Amino acid sequence: MFRNVAELVELAESQNKKISDIMIEQEIEFTGKTFEQVYSQMEKNLEVMEQAVARGLEGVKSHSGLTGGDAVLLQKYIDSGRSLCGDTILDAVSKAVATNEVNAAMGTICATPTAGSAGVVPGTLFAVKNKLNPTKDEMIRFLFASGAFGFVVANNASISGAAGGCQAEVGSASGMAAAAIVEMAGGTPGQSAEAMAITLKNMLGLVCDPVAGLVEVPCVKRNAMGAANAMVAADMALAGITSRIPCDEVIDAMYKIGQTMPVALRETAQGGLAATPTGRELEAKIFGVSLNKREDS
């Protein structure tokens, strides 16, 4: 039905439907499942996300000790009334962090589009829920809308940090979230595409450099920033601001950047933050020896 964002928007606009409607129809066509089956599966995904956010906000620690507890700190900071950038954005950030802290603690999450970037979509969804008061159906459709843009990225570029750097993971997740926020807020399909483009082009070149090879540092905090990026981009699109570079071209640029990115910066823990003195010290502390030394021996 659609292969890129331009076709997705054209289908939605020509049929006077939402992005989420088009994605549901495509899922039914591709999988051969009924509407009820497709919808029910997404409802289960929503429940998993909600449970992960709730668990993270109670406070969790990873087995490595690298991450945990930051979502709780952010909620306490919000409650203090001293926050500078607004409660809704910080709420999204804290819930994104909560989800990824649960992932790092070996808990159950929903990959959106990957485990390493699983915080952005639920983080923003459950933050804007408090602002927009959506129905459960609208929350489920939020996930279908985000999935539509993730589908395009996965089939035209990459959602893998090993293939395209963190721009392909947290960058894609952030764009997906921004597009879905726009739909939930009453924006047009075209504005959803603008939000995706604005978000993604501001995360181009983001490397994947996990310390000790674990999906914790800097991954958790990158989900936090990705959530904030998505919220701001959604507001910009809803205000009528457009991207001078069309969404599909931004996605293509991301793909080409990922192809030229050094292997050391694509999830190998060989460069970037993973290769800093502190990064190597943490790696040795966790594993007893540097991963690079183990590979050399």
Summarised one tens digit per residue, pLDDT across range 98-110 is 999 999 999 999 9
> Residue 167 gets which letter from DSSP?
I
How close are the terminal C-alpha atoms of the chain, in Å? 51
Count how many domains the chain has: 1
- Judged by phi (left if over 0) then psi (alpha if -120 to 50, else beta), residue 213 lies in left
For the domain that residue 28 is a member of, what is the CATH number?
1.10.4100
Task: Give me the pLDDT at residue 289, please.
Answer: 73
In order along its 297 residues, the chain shows pLDDT tens digits of 899 999 999 999 999 999 999 999 999 999 999 999 999 999 999 999 999 999 999 999 999 999 999 999 999 999 999 999 999 999 999 999 999 999 999 999 999 999 999 999 999 999 999 999 999 999 999 999 999 999 999 999 999 999 999 999 999 999 999 999 999 999 999 999 999 999 999 999 999 999 999 999 999 999 999 999 999 999 999 999 999 999 999 999 999 999 999 999 999 999 999 999 999 999 999 999 765 654 443
Residue 188 burial (C-beta neighbours within 10 Å; 0-12, 13-18, 19+)? middle
Report the 3 state secondary structure along the chain: CCCCHHHHHHHHHHCCCCHHHHHHHHHHHHHCCCHHHHHHHHHHHHHHHHHHHHHHHHCCECCCCCCECHHHHHHHHHHHCCCCCCHHHHHHHHHHHHHHHHHHCCCCCCCCCCCCCCCHHHHHHHHHHHHHCCCHHHHHHHHHHHHHHHHHHHHHCCCCHHHHCHHHHHHHHHHHHHHHHHHHCCCCHHHHHHHHHHHHHCCCCCCECCHHHCCCCCHHHHHHHHHHHHHHHHHHHHCCCCCCCCHHHHHHHHHHHHHHCCHHHECCCCCHHHHCHHHHHHHHHHHCCCHHHHHHC
Domain membership of residue 195 as a residue range: 5-296
Residue 208 phi, psi dihedral angles, 5° rounding: -110, 105
The pLDDT of residue 297 is: 39
Torsion sign across C-alpha atoms 29, 31, 34, 36: negative
pLDDT of residue 218: 98
pLDDT of residue 226: 98
Residue of 131, 145, 238 whose CA lies nearest to 195: 238
Q: How confident is the model at residue 290, as a pLDDT? A: 64
